[in-house]
Amino acid sequence: MNIAIIGLGLMGGSLAMSLKKQKYVEKIVGYDHNKKHTKQAIELDLVDEIVSFEMLKKADVIFLAIPVDGLIATLHKLTDIDKSTTIIDLGSTKQKIVESVPTVIRKNFVAAHPMTGTENFGPLAAIDGLYDDKVVVLCDLEDSGKHQADVAKKIFRSLNMKKTYMKSHEHDRHAAFISHMPHAVSYAIANTVMRQENKHNILALAAGGYRSMSRLAKSSPYMWEDIFRQNKSNLLESITLFQEELDQLKTAIENDDWQRVHQEMEDANKLYDILD
């Protein structure tokens, strides 16, 4: 199986590292509009070759590991691929991507979201084993061709990923709460400190708690602007509900209602009864 990866940053580069270990993979070629990224991908041996956009269309499987807006535009340039080709996107939102797939290649397309990543980006951020034992969400799979669905399942199975299935609109609402809203909160936490006159003194005290809460603020603004735009309504709902929770806690503190504060903390502790 020959595989092409469009986008050679954290997700695409890490995917290439994992796929290189699979016996069914004959060759991995890459494409990225960022020339620095293509140079680094070759130097790091992430892909076997950098090819032109037209050449990558000949691959058996094409992975799209690029920001959502660019991903949608790229799909419209792939309408002349072979009917047996499988296109798999790794976008963090799904509904608008699915709705934007040209009809002529809808059977070729598999909508996937590997629930993994870090706050870093670019080929130098690629991590061996990034996908191992992580969840991958496959959306609206009934609209993909049987061959393409089987190919996607085989690949993600070989990467030791846990597959789950849902509708694209369900995915986007769930992702807003578990990923997109936390990123928005992390950016806000970082900016709250950065906009203080004595920010350097404040940050001198930064320990594990603050670093953990603000870690996501290191994430690429280009990528996350795309995600926020594509999932605007779900993101706004999740931010509103978060604000309501924060307001309740704020009110309890203002009123010296420490029993309520304690109860809010205990309720939050229960999250890890589910996660653990």
For residue range 88-100, list pLDDT tens digits in order: 999 989 999 999 9
Give CA–CA dist 9/79, Å, rounded.
25
Fill in the amino acid letter for 163: K
- Under DSSP, is residue 12 helix (H, G, I), strand (E, B) or coil? helix
Q: Where are the beta strands (DSSP E) in 156-245?
A: 162-166
- Residue 222 has what pLDDT? 85
Give me 65's structure tokens.
């590991």
From residue 273, give the alpha-carbon distance in Å to each of 21, 268, 269, 270, 276.
36, 10, 8, 5, 6
3-state helix, strand, coil in the chain (%, to 5): 55, 15, 30
Q: What is the pLDDT of residue 116?
A: 87
| Superfamily for the 2-166 domain | NAD(P)-binding Rossmann-like Domain (3.40.50.720)
The domain ranges of the chain are 2-166, 171-275
Residue numbers in the chain where pLDDT is lower than 50? none
Q: Which CATH class is domain 171-275?
A: mainly alpha
Q: Which of 239, 55, 56, 25 is nearest to 151 (CA)?
A: 25
Query: How far, in Å, CA of 173 to CA of 231, rounded?
Result: 8
CA angle centred on 212, ends 234 and 269, rounded to 5°: 70
Q: What is the pLDDT of residue 220?
A: 84
Instruction: Report pLDDT for 121.
Output: 80
Phi-psi region of 62 (alpha: psi -120 to 50; beta: other; left: phi over 0): beta
| pLDDT of amino acid 202 | 76
